Amino acid sequence: MAGKKKALITGIAGFVGSHLAELLLSKGFEVYGFCRSRTKMDHIEEIKNKLILEDADLMDSHSLYTIISRIKPDFVFHLAAQSFVPTSWISPSVTLEVNVSGSANLFEAIRQASIDPVVQIACSSEEYGLVYPDEVPIKETNPLRPQSPYAVSKVAMDYLGYQYFSSYNMKIVRTRGFNHTGPRRGDTFAESNFAKQIALIEKGKQEPIIHVGNLEAKRDYTDVRDMVRAYLLAVEKCEAGDVYNICTGNAIEIGKMLELLLSFSKVKVSTKQDQSRMRPSDVPILIGDNSKFVAQTGWKDEIPFKKTMEDLLNYWRARV
Ligand code: A2R
């Protein structure tokens, strides 16, 4: 395998990690990934034998160091996280531990292995939190007003990345991904949950009532396959230490997204608001300004939102 670039993905078996692994394999990378014994492997089942998987937990700094100093990756994509906002209300400490201390463990392992890979870290639009109407579309320079323990954990990871660049000159690129979705999205996320409910109703396995949360929020959605293309461009073309929004610059209301999903189906449904699906504090609007990232990399989102939603619904139709 001489000459092949080595890419390490933390969180390779997750929603985004699995799509990124497919992309990197198609581009000829030697792809390594961190998993745990408890990690569900469904998303990477079909490509598992082309990957080099290592048993490593972000909380176990010793395993991180041992494996990283052996692999000596050229690129690291740091995706492993407690990734779900609602879980962060229930388990704030675990969220902070995995997302902040886990990232510190990873950076230390890389530093102590005396290697110099380009490291992309998956920061989040949730960091902007409360955004005022005159701040939209949101630039990287916008104040961060995080509204959940998850968002706070991502702010801390983001700045830890900056600090490791600043203190040790590590080549860390910070990407603030806005919402991203598509096949394999967990059913705890609104759009995927709606698609799954529609698929269940189509099969007669759920009464024709869609349970919803806040339908008024507006979100800027990118297809996950466009997002992972952006992550690869980030390590190839972006400036170390710098931060980049990745988003389309267009937003859709959650209620309109539900209507779009329903337009692909013949079922007739009513909706019911479910208090448990509302957040203690929610962000009304998130639309990003991607001009900095686009100018640096030439990236453009390619998959229309309609296709993303159709693929997501078909993903669930094949699974329920
Ligand atoms: O929890 P597991 O074993 O199923 O694996 C998850 C992994 N992960 C960890 N890996 C190592 N040590 C840990 N302590 C640890 N905790 C979690 O991260 C899973 O494979 C992955 C996260 O996948 P998803 O929850 O599907 O997240 P998604 O949507 O792919 O998000 C990727 C990144 C995250 O940093 C998000 O916060 C960001 O994009 O938006």
Tell me, in angstroms, the distance from the centre of ligand 1 to residue 1's CA: 28
User: H helices of 41-101, where?
Assistant: 61-71, 85-90, 92-96
* Distance separating alpha carbons of residues 298 and 290, to the nearest angstrom: 11
Testing ligand 1's pocket by substitution, the residue of 36, 126, 228 carrying the most ligand atoms inside 8 A of its CB is 36
Task: Report the run of H or E that residue 62 belongs to, with start and end.
Answer: helix 61-71
Per-residue model confidence as pLDDT tens digits over 160-217: 999 999 999 999 999 999 999 999 999 989 999 999 999 999 999 999 999 999 899 8
Per-residue model confidence as pLDDT tens digits over 212-249: 998 998 999 999 999 999 999 999 999 999 999 999 99
In the chain, the percentage of residues whose pLDDT exceeds 90 is 91
What is the pLDDT confidence band of residue 3, given thresholds at 50, 70 and 90? confident
Tell me, in angstroms, the distance from the centre of ligand 1 to residue 14's CA: 6
Per-residue model confidence as pLDDT tens digits over 59-106: 999 999 999 999 999 999 999 999 999 899 999 999 999 999 999 999
Tell me, in angstroms, the distance from the centre of ligand 1 to residue 304's CA: 26
Q: Are 140 and 244 in contact (CB under 8 A)?
A: yes
Q: How far is CA 133 from CA 89, 91, 136, 214, in A?
A: 26, 31, 6, 18
SS3 19: helix
Instruction: Tell me the two tokens of residue 230.
Output: 């952006």
pTM, two decimals, is 0.96
Testing ligand 1's pocket by substitution, the residue of 39, 41, 54, 227 carrying the most ligand atoms inside 8 A of its CB is 39
Phi, psi of 152 (to 5 degrees): -65, -40
Q: What would the CATH number be for the domain defined by 6-181+224-249+289-297?
A: 3.40.50.720
Query: CA dihedral defined by 58, 62, 65, 66, rounded to 10 degrees?
Result: -120
Domain ranges of the chain: 6-181+224-249+289-297, 190-218+251-286+304-317
* Mean pLDDT of the chain, nearest integer: 95
Q: What would the CATH number be for the domain defined by 190-218+251-286+304-317?
A: 3.90.25.10
Place of tokens 């203690």: 280
Please state the atom number of ligand 1 nearest to the C-alpha of residue 56.
Answer: 11
SS3 240: coil
Please state the atom number of ligand 1 nearest to the C-alpha of residue 40.
Answer: 4
Q: Within 6 Å (CB) of ligand 1, which residues are found?
A: 11, 13-17, 34, 36, 38-40, 57-59, 79-83, 98, 102, 122, 124, 177, 186
* Distance separating alpha carbons of residues 148 and 29, to the nearest angstrom: 36
* Distance separating alpha carbons of residues 121 and 187, to the nearest angstrom: 24
In the chain, the percentage of residues whose pLDDT exceeds 70 is 98
**Closest residue to atom 8 of ligand 1, CA basis:** 80
Instruction: Tell me the two tokens of residue 123.
Output: 């920061």
**Closest residue to atom 2 of ligand 1, CA basis:** 39
